[in-house]
Amino acid sequence: MKKIDTSRRLKAFPPYLFAEIDRQKSILRKKKIDFIDISIGDPDIPAPKAVIEALAKAAKVKVNQKYALDQGKSALRAAIKNWSKKRFSVNLNQDTEILPLIGSKEGLIHFPLAFVNQGEYVITPSPGYPGYKSAARFINAKIYDLALLEENAFLPQLSKIPLSVRNKAKLMYLNYPHNPTTALAPKKFLEELVSFCSKYGIILAYDNAYSEVYFNQKPLSILQIKGAKEIALEFHSLSKTFCMTGFRIGWAAGNANFIKALLKVKANIDSGIFGAVQEAAITALKTQEKYVSNLRKILKDRRDYFVKNLKAAGFKGIHSDSTFYVWTRIPKEFKTSIDFSTYLLTKKSIVATPGVGFGKHGEGFIRFALTVDKSSLKKVFQKLK
Ligand SMILES: Cc1ncc(COP(=O)(O)O)c(C=O)c1O
C-alpha cells in the first residue's frame, strides 16, 4: 500500500511537551519504579462535592443527554456574568460578551482560526503555555517569541517588538498569573498592553486561567482596564479554580465581535458542552467561594514548605508569586533544563518540567507543580538529599 504521510503542518510540530512527559512516565511505570509526579498542573484535590453531585443529577436529565446549544446554557452565562461582576466589577452582556468553552484550551486554540491569516504573526510569550504556539502552527501563521525575562519580572518589553512584526501581527497571547514563571501583571503594565494592542490593531487573547490561584496580590482581569473590551478577549477556566480539569469547561469574555467570530468557528467544529458539565459549572460558580479560598490556603501551605526546602537545598532564583507552580533556576552543575529534568527522572524518580519546554527563554529553569500532597512533597526533598 502507498505510504500515508502526516501533513507537512503536523510534521513541523515538536512533540507536545506533556505528551512527551507522559511517555517518560509510562516507561517508569513499566519498570515498576515508584515516582513523584510534579510535572503537570492537574490538582490532586477533588472537585467540590456539590459540583460532583450537580453533575451526577444533571446527567440523568434527558435534555442534558442531547446536543447542547452551542452558545451554552443561559443560566451558565448568567452565572459567569455574576461571578465576573462580583470578582472583578466587570459588566458583561451574557448574550454577546460571554462564550462557554470546552475548557479554556479549546477556545484559546480555536480563536486564531477566526482572525489570523496564513503568514500573519501571532505573538506568543516565551516561556509560555505551549498551546499558543500550536494554535499558530495549525494555521501556518508566523510566530514571534515575546521574551519574558527574570530581570523584567517576567513582563515583556513591548517596545522591543520590531515594527515589521507589530504591523503584521494579528493576535497576541499573554497570560498572568503566568504559567510557568508565577509572575503577576501590575495594572500599569496592563494599561500599557491595552494601549499597545489598540494602537497596532493586535487582538489580545488574555489567558486568565489562574486568576484565583494567588497568595497575596489579587490578580486583575484585563477587562478592568479602560479600552480593553475593544481589543481583548479574556479566557477563564474552571480547571484550576475548582480542580475540575477533567470536566472540560471554561469561558471566553470580552469583545462582542470576537465572541461572535469564535462562536462561528466553534459551531463548525463542536456541538456544545455536555449539559451536565454546564450544570456542574453553574454550581461551582454560584456556591463554591469558600472551597476556592480553602484551596488557596492548602496551596500556600505547600508553596511555603516547598520554597523553604528548595532554598535550604541551595536552589537560586526561586519564583512562586501565584499559581500552583514553582519556577526556579537549575543548579549550576547542569548545563540545560533537559539535563536537570533527566537527572531528576532517572536518578531521583522525580518528574518535573524542563523550562525549555515552555520556549527558549525558559532555558535554565525548571517548573515544579505543587499538585501532590505535602507528604509527597516531603519525599521530594528526601530524594534530593
Ligand atoms: C496558562 C494555561 N492556560 C490554559 C490552560 C488550559 O486549561 P483548561 O483547558 O483545562 O481550561 C492551562 C492548563 O494547564 C494553562 O496552564
Nearest partner of 223 among 207, 234, 238, 209, judged by Cα: 234
Determine if residue 17 is left, alpha or beta; phi over 0 gives left, psi from -120 to 50 gives alpha, anything else beta.
alpha
Query: What is the pLDDT confidence band of residue 18, given thresholds at 50, 70 and 90?
Result: confident
Give SS3 for 82.
helix
**Segments of the chain assigned to CATH 3.90.1150.10:** 8-46+290-384
**Taking 90 as the threshold, does the pLDDT of residue 16 lie above it?**
no
Mean pLDDT of 287-299: 98
User: Rounded to the nearest whole angstrom, what is the distance from the C-alpha of residue 105 to the centroid of ligand 1?
Assistant: 6
Dihedral (CA of 196, 357, 185, 234) sign: positive
- pLDDT, one tens digit per residue, over 162-190 is 999 999 999 999 999 999 999 999 999 99
Which DSSP state fits 146? E
Q: Topology of domain 49-287, per CATH?
A: Aspartate Aminotransferase; domain 2 (3.40.640)
Determine if residue 117 is left, alpha or beta; phi over 0 gives left, psi from -120 to 50 gives alpha, anything else beta.
beta
Q: Measured between alpha carbons, how far is residue 44 from residues 19, 41, 321 in Å?
A: 19, 9, 20
Which DSSP state fits 171? E
Angle in degrees, CA 256, 161, 106, rounded to 5: 40
User: Rounded to the nearest whole angstrom, what is the distance from the C-alpha of residue 5 to the centroid of ligand 1?
Assistant: 30
Query: What is the pLDDT confidence band of residue 86, given thresholds at 50, 70 and 90?
Result: very high
Which are the contacts of 76, defined by CB distance < 8 A and separation ≥ 6? 100, 278, 281, 282
**Taking 80 as the threshold, does the pLDDT of residue 20 lie above it?**
no
User: Rounded to the nearest whole angstrom, what is the distance from the C-alpha of residue 238 to the centroid of ligand 1?
Assistant: 9
Q: Which of 104, 181, 184, 207 to mutate to test the pocket of ligand 1 (most atoms within 8 A of CB)?
A: 104
**Taking 80 as the threshold, does the pLDDT of residue 248 lie above it?**
yes
Among 4-18, 84-98, 362-376, the least confident range: 4-18
Mean pLDDT of 87-103: 98
Mean pLDDT of 353-368: 96
Mean pLDDT of 353-366: 96
The pTM (predicted TM-score) of the whole model is: 0.96
- pLDDT, one tens digit per residue, over 21-77 is 788 888 888 988 889 999 989 999 999 999 999 999 999 999 999 999 889 999 999
Determine if residue 243 is left, alpha or beta; phi over 0 gives left, psi from -120 to 50 gives alpha, anything else beta.
left
Which are the contacts of 120, defined by CB distance < 8 A and separation ≥ 6? 141, 142, 168, 169, 170
Task: Supply the pLDDT for residue 14.
Answer: 81
Task: Supply the pLDDT for residue 88.
Answer: 98
Could you tell me which CATH number the domain at 8-46+290-384 has?
3.90.1150.10
**Segments of the chain assigned to CATH 3.40.640.10:** 49-287
Name the strand (E) or helix (H) holding 107: helix 104-115
- pLDDT, one tens digit per residue, over 188-240 is 999 999 999 999 999 999 999 999 999 989 999 999 999 999 999 999 999 99
First to last CA, the chain: 55
209 vs 216: CA distance, rounded Å:
17
- Taking every pair of Cα atoms in the chain, the longest distance, rounded to a whole number of angstroms, is 61
Q: Which of 109, 148, 240 to mutate to test the pocket of ligand 1 (most atoms within 8 A of CB)?
A: 240
Q: What is the mean pLDDT of the chain?
A: 96
One DSSP character per residue, 267-312 reads HTT-----HHHHHHHHHHHHH-HHHHHHHHHHHHHHHHHHHHHHHH
Three cell numbers, residue 29 = 511505570
Task: Supply the pLDDT for residue 28.
Answer: 87
333 vs 62: CA distance, rounded Å:
60
Task: Supply the pLDDT for residue 304.
Answer: 98
Task: Supply the pLDDT for residue 24.
Answer: 82
The values of phi and psi at residue 310, to 5°, are -60, -45
Q: Which of 17, 21, 105 to mutate to test the pocket of ligand 1 (most atoms within 8 A of CB)?
A: 105
In this structure, the residues whose C-beta lies within 6 A of any atom of ligand 1 are 41, 103-105, 129, 175, 179, 207, 209, 237, 239, 245, 250
